[in-house]
Amino acid sequence: MIIKENFEIKNLTTYKIGGVVSKIYFPETQSELTELLREHPDCLVLGNCSDVLFSSNGYNGEIILTTELKQYEIRGTKVFASCGVKGPLLSQKTAEAGLSGLEFMIGFPGTIGGEVYMNAGAHGQTISDVISQCCLFDKKTHEIIYKKKDELEFGYRSSILQNGRYILIHAEFELKKASKEEINSLMDRNLEFRKNVQPSLKNPNAGSVFKNPENDSAGRLLDKAGVKTFELPQAKVWGKHANFIINKGNAASEDILTLMVMMYNAVKKQYTIELKPEIIFIGNKTKKEEELWNILSHESQR
């Protein structure tokens, strides 16, 4: 497998932000992944780095990137996909097979591992709707185990994977037969919606900044709080949807965190609602970044 040391991570992230990482592994098979997890239990496991903000000051630890784990198989209405398979690819391949259930993934930049981790969803569909079971690595016992859907503790943008004990190896889905015309029509509508209200990766971003509060929309609250005008020299809030931050070209992680706190404070002041970050912040934090992240992650959890 490819192993890189002192690797600048920024070009692998959708934000195009991030410093030097001590070591990165790129396993190509599930056996290589599980061997790495046994030998390096403290390794951080990531996919397409689409929902993360890396510190511009780098990361002193080791990272496993799953993007070379691209194996998938379609058997009837069952679909098996390794953690590194990209969501849009699986969406397209299942559509070609006349299978419905993954149309929402067509515009997602992430991998199956990240999407199961976050219980990704859009347009009334979520990944938990169609998962039957997952193959996981148990970091506590170093064993490979299987958990069925009802054991995966799915919630809004959450799953059992977020407790840190389990790493997804592959996921198994149960889809439904449908006409290719219906499937492609739904995918086209999803792509058109995304094109109209969400920035493409030509404008580097990491997707939605904040999670939706219960029975409300983070984008609506942020819009009403007037954050679309918020802008720094190298980063700004997206003008078409208030829950996105754009890297204008040379933003640092501190710029993104500063804007996030400005957005968080605007909603808190107007609605007394404390938004929770959907983006995960990783790396060596400066004192300022620590203060900013504490406002976002600690205060909002109280």
Which candidate in 32, 62, 231, 278 is catalytic?
A: 278
Q: Is the separation of the CB atoms in 63 and 26 below 8 Å?
A: no
Active site residue 157: yes
Start-to-end Cα distance in the chain: 43
142, two tokens: 């170093």
Which candidate in 50, 56, 115, 157 is catalytic?
A: 157
Which candidate in 82, 208, 253, 254 is catalytic?
A: 208
Q: What are phi and psi of 214, to 5 degrees?
A: -60, 130
What span, in angstroms and rounded, lies between the C-alpha atoms of 102 and 94? 8
What span, in angstroms and rounded, lies between the C-alpha atoms of 56 and 77? 44
Active site residue 208: yes
Q: Is the separation of the CB atoms in 193 and 108 below 8 Å?
A: no
Active site residue 278: yes
Q: Which residue has the tokens 């195009």?
A: 16
Half-sphere exposure of 151 (CA within 13 A, CB side): 10
Q: Looking at the annotation, which residues are catalytic?
A: 157, 208, 278
